[in-house]
Amino acid sequence: MAEQSQSLRTPATGETPSTPPAGGVSRRALLGTAGATGLALGAAGAGVGYAAAPARATPLSSVGSGRAMFHGKHQPGITESLQARGHLIAFDLAAGAGRTEAAALLRRWSATAARLMAGEPTAHDDTDVARDAGPSSLTITFGFGNTFFARTGLEKQRPSALDPLPDFSSDHLDKARSNGDLWVQIGADDALVAFHALRAIQKDAGSAARVRWQMNGFNRTPGATAHPMTARNLMGQLDGTRNPKPTDADFDQRIFVPSSGEPAWMANGSYAVVRRIRMLLDDWEKLSLAAQENVIGRKKSNGAPLSGGTETTAMDLEKARADGEYVVPVNAHARITRPDQNGGAAILRRPFSYHDGIDADGTPDAGLLFVCWQADPLRGFVPLQRKLDRGDALSQYIRHEASGLFAVPGGAGDGEYVGQRLLEG
């Protein structure tokens, strides 16, 4: 959990998508608008993570026109805005399936992703679930888990950065909902568009792979607020205030594997850490407002640091009260997760909230589907999580229940599929 927000969704032309007539908008009109404007990628944050900057307020009637591009230097779904609906799904290769079957699967998945992200139906037996909708900023992202390489005979190509994450004291991990050979992230600003993509990816898996686990999440819908603002999480906190931008000089260095990096097939890729973090909301909501703010280190109303100012004011870590205690407590989450308190360790954080119902004892099963990106998890997520393990005030109100680490290769060029350099190299 840490500071996170939404990214600026601005068309590549710098123009605002046209507002549809009051009577509605046709799928053709939506696709025409999306194709004309494109998408300029947003930013991501810091602390226990980076995520994107606040999205410009968008009329709900134009949500469908947003379009992300499948082909490019990086895969989609990393630096784009937070999306209203998300699905995370892991697959294991079927018994007997190997490199050949995996290559055919990634070829199918890539072709389907390119079509759906353009607002087109699947090539065969489309379900019509997304009929009448535009692309709705759909993104589909693919990654490989540690076990994928042994199953495909590609052990020599497995990056050392995919070594299993260390154990953390806050872990209560369910192995059945952790890891996996293959990982897919789906996000969109319309729930039906996201579900349509989920079903298409599941069907494309065919006999080559079976679902290991699936998690469903959500964020605030673009246009739901009167003005751009940092998103709130299920604890009611503004989440993502200290997010850096891709324009920062060291952004690519921290988040993406360089084009000259090793292994070569990971050039321009990134590593995703996925954690299902349950929020103990009943305990959290019993705290007074002042106690909640001391846990985080920021005002709940506007995200301003307890040391004073506005949301974007730099936190004064040395400011003390009359009794000598720091105004921002030493174990406050926002203090502990600052990159300048962790040797510069930083991650790009792009999560979804989730709510999976009520347990038998009446407690909500809700929290954060934490997804963070970095060029190397040993320099990003791992040192931050170790620091949090040693005394974060927030730790008693959350529980890490599932975990995964995946190598996400760079984007596919025209005529290529994701992972082609690995599987055909």
How much is the pLDDT for 36? 36
Q: Which amino acid makes up residue 69? A: M
- Which of 239, 252, 316, 389 is an active site residue? 239
Q: What CA–CA distances, in Å, run from 361 to 174, 229, 287, 350, 358?
A: 20, 35, 20, 31, 8
pLDDT tens per residue, the chain (425 residues)? 544 433 334 333 333 343 344 444 444 344 443 333 333 333 333 344 444 555 566 676 789 999 999 999 999 999 998 999 999 999 999 999 999 999 999 999 999 999 999 999 999 999 999 999 999 999 999 999 999 999 999 999 999 999 999 999 889 999 999 999 999 999 999 999 999 999 999 999 999 999 999 999 999 998 888 887 888 999 999 987 776 578 889 999 999 999 998 999 999 999 999 999 999 999 999 999 999 999 999 999 999 999 999 998 999 999 999 999 999 999 999 999 887 777 788 888 899 999 999 999 999 999 999 999 999 999 999 999 999 998 899 999 999 999 999 999 999 999 999 999 999 98
Determine whether 163 is an active site residue: no
CB 371 within 8 A of CB 350: yes
**372 in helix, strand or coil?**
strand
Three-state SS string across 316-350, please? Answer: CCCCECCCCCECCCCCCHHHHCCHHHCCCCCCEEC
- Burial, 229: exposed, middle or buried (Cβ in 10 Å; 0-12, 13-18, 19+)? middle
Tokens 């568009």 -> residue: 193
DSSP string computed for 8-23: P-B-TTSPPPPPPPTT
Who's near 307: CB < 8 A, 6+ residues apart? 313, 315, 316, 317, 319, 327, 328
Rounded to 5°, the CA angle 94-100-103 comes to: 90
- Rounded (to 5) percent helix, strand, coil in the chain: 25, 20, 55
Element (H, E) at 149: helix 148-151
pLDDT number for residue 103: 98
Sequence-separated (6 or more) residues with CB below 8 Å from residue 405: 145, 146, 162, 164, 165, 179, 271, 272, 273, 274, 377
Task: Tell the burial category of 96 from Cβ atoms under 10 Å away from its Cβ (0-12, 13-18, 19+).
Answer: exposed
The confidence score (pLDDT) of residue 148 equals: 98
**Residue 102: CB partners within 8 Å, gap ≥ 6?**
93, 148, 151, 152, 182, 208, 419, 423
Q: Give me the phi and psi of 270, to 5 degrees please.
A: -155, 165
